[in-house]
Amino acid sequence: MAQPIRTNQRKRNARLKTAPTRSQASDNRSEIKPSKKDELQELKAKTPTGSTVHLLMVVSVLTFVVFVWSYWPTWMNLVSQWNQVPDYSHGFLVAPLAGLFLWIRRDQFPGITFGASNMLGLLIIAFAGVIRSISSYYYLDALDGWSIPIWISGFVLMFCGWRVFWWAMPSMVFLIFMVPLPYTIETMMAQPLQVVSTNMSSFVLQCLGQPAITEGSTILLGDQTLEIVRACSGLRILFGVAALAFAFIVLFERPFWAKILMIAGVLPIALLANSIRIVMTGLLYQVGFDEAANRISHDVAGWVMIPLAAAFFGALLFYLDRLFRRMESVDTAGMVRAQTRRR
């Protein structure tokens, strides 16, 4: 019986030898503390102090003043195009809507941080300057306008940090809609839109019992002739509908597949809204209200079709919500365990 007792004593001695002493435990704690301090120091380094904040504010204001001064001719060119070209008259609403996106999502503001990675914003600003130089050398006004969102993104990254950069990304991307397309791309898009809108409108007029005949981009409607010019191609409505789809995706939480369907619905909704405008104009011509038809076709209907397209998007969202019901997962095993515990 003496042998088991000796083996137990040997096991205890081995445990005592392997167990850390108090001095060793204190040494381990001292090794852990510096790592936590380092993490706190890194977090403090990312958060600017009071003096740093004042310096950053002064530098950011001066940088923004330089931005306004250097881009002033670009802004004037954009405003003149918004005034003269009806297809891009929505440009006046782009910047206010981008600010509205930020205001609606203000509860998700992550806070300003500063670190060495913010200097990447300076490179983005320099890249915007390179784009501007290329646009001025080759006389490409669209590149000059597209450099504005790139410059603003670099400014936000430089003075606000990565988290604010990703938070403001939807609004910065939305600014692209205020820049008119190059003439070649615009012509390439307008011509097929004219043909499709003409065929759709002629088909609807025929369904309504009207003597509509299509010849290219012209509709022969009895004694009247409807010429579907480039202004009536639906390019303006297409831009407006694309901006609406972007706004719906940013403001409303939907699954990824629903967002893809909304993007795919931009072109059909734009064509449908433009065809409704052409059909209304043709019907007014048939009744005899020629002046009202011209006024509605070029002035009123161009703006009314945007809210109509928004209604179509709302109907699409309503249909998708009813088509695919959201299922809630229930933990049946947990419910059974809770009932057995109560018993």
Give DSSP secondary structure letters for 147-195.
HHHHHHHHHHHHHH-HHHHHHHHHHHHHGGGGSPPPHHHHHHHHHHHHH
Taking residues 97-123, report their average pLDDT: 86
Residues 6+ apart with CB under 8 A from 271: 193, 196, 197, 200, 234
- Phi and psi angles of residue 219, each rounded to the nearest 5 degrees, phi first: -115, 120
Report yes or no: 188 and 197 within 8 Å, Cβ to Cβ. no
Burial of residue 120 (CB within 10 Å: 0-12, 13-18, 19+) is middle
Q: Please, which contacts does 294-298 make with residues 24 or more away whose CB atoms are closer than 8 Å?
A: 297/232, 298/86, 298/231, 298/232
Query: What pLDDT shows up at residue 195?
Result: 86
The per-residue b/e assignment along 130-158, b for 16 or more CB within 10 angstroms, e otherwise, is ebbeebeeeeebebbbbbbbbbbbbbbbb
Query: Higher-confidence residue: 3 or 104?
Result: 104
Of 211-225, 260-274, 284-298, give the lowest mean pLDDT range: 284-298
Tokens of 282: 């043709």
Where are the chain's structural domains? 50-179, 184-323
In what side-by-side order are the strands of the sheet with 224-227?
212-215, 218-221, 224-227
Of 216-220, 269-273, 298-302, give the lowest mean pLDDT range: 298-302
- Of the ranges 86-100, 118-132, 240-254, which is most confident? 118-132
Of 26-35, 56-65, 136-145, 148-157, give the lowest mean pLDDT range: 26-35
**pLDDT one-digit tens code per residue, 159-204:** 888 999 999 999 999 999 999 888 888 888 888 888 888 899 889 9
Tokens of 318: 């309503």
